[in-house]
Structure 1
Amino acid sequence: MSTDTLHFQNAHFVTSAPDIRHLPADEGMEVAFAGRSNAGKSSALNVLTRQKSLARTSKTPGRTQQINVFGLDDHRRLIDLPGYGFAKVPLAMKLKWQQALSEYLEKRNCLRGLVVLMDVRHPMKDLDQELIHWAVASDLPVLVVLTKIDKLKSGQRKAALMQIQEAIPGFGGDVSVILFSSLNKTGLPELEQKLHYWFANPKDPEVEEAADS
């Protein structure tokens, strides 16, 4: 188990892959970011890493068409998964993205946690819920990040957070939720804390201890 300090600002682009066969070796640790194509995933990654253009942002949702890999150090990575659920892309392309997404989630052994980003005004769509159910079934911890909270008044934010908190027990497993804004960095400390915890605590401690002995 690594106890090294994480410096998210050291994140650097490693590769883009159409599927898991083109990813780096399945070793070390990864945390993946997933969300609908208009959920603000790229903006959140840029805020987290203190870089304006590490992850591409666009006014046209759906531009993240491959699995993008960002290295933090020699054995820890952030993964930007293809956006899902955007209606204005060709069906064949949508299905290709979905296949790459599901294949990564099902077969990538070094995955330590899943960050699911949702627009706070439109949370828990069907695909969001399916993703969380898959993660729970795979014994993978999930952090739901409700983005764009600056677009709501304080009372509306609290109501949205409470709604998701009430829904979480229905998923079972290790699922938590935070409010987040890429504009004013609300929620950034909580996001960092969760990532530090996941990277410091292996998914299967007994396996990791055996490997270290």
Structure 2
Amino acid sequence: MNKQKREQIFKRFKENNPEPTTELEYSSPFELLIAVILSAQATDVGVNKATRKLYPVANTPESIYALGVDGLKEYIKTIGLYNAKAENVIKTCKALIEQHQSQVPDTREALEALPGVGRKTANVVLNTAFGQPTMAVDTHIYRVSNRTKIAPGKNVLEVEKKLLKFVPKDYLIDAHHWLILHGRYTCIARKPRCGSCIIEDLCEFKQKTEI
């Protein structure tokens, strides 16, 4: 895919959705961090249902840590892998209190040192909470990047690096959200909705559908 096509694709994404954001509900970097940890192999809808009950009761490192693992499980037991996630969240709260004055750090190295925080989670927090030009490649972004040929790659890290290289700089901050939303609602896994896609004429996917 050439530079001009990519420019047009992201121009359309911006015109269609000028201020995209995550569908996870949060009101602070800490709430976002916990929501992203909980969202691994779970839906944003499911995470939001749990955090709507949790955050009014506990939404700081100290208050969640005070719940303990068993107390936290009561709020997140509807989410997949909740046992492991509860352990990681409590450990992360402890680390934030002891090492970061209860503040979420704004560097990749510090974020990835937290329990339950991998590269993708760190990228989401750096981008969404701190406005850094990172690319958190999930299953949706991986599929869209390869299918459209915006940034094809054999693995998640390869796609991430190509997106950072190929996405026009003016669109880099928001590209992560546009691509996720496009993959979630239009360029879906089983049968993409090409007929209602705003970038269909620019996309290089060969088996287009009429839906």
TM-score computed with the length of structure 1 as normaliser? 0.30
Which is greater in Rg? Answer: 2
TM-score computed with the length of structure 2 as normaliser? 0.30
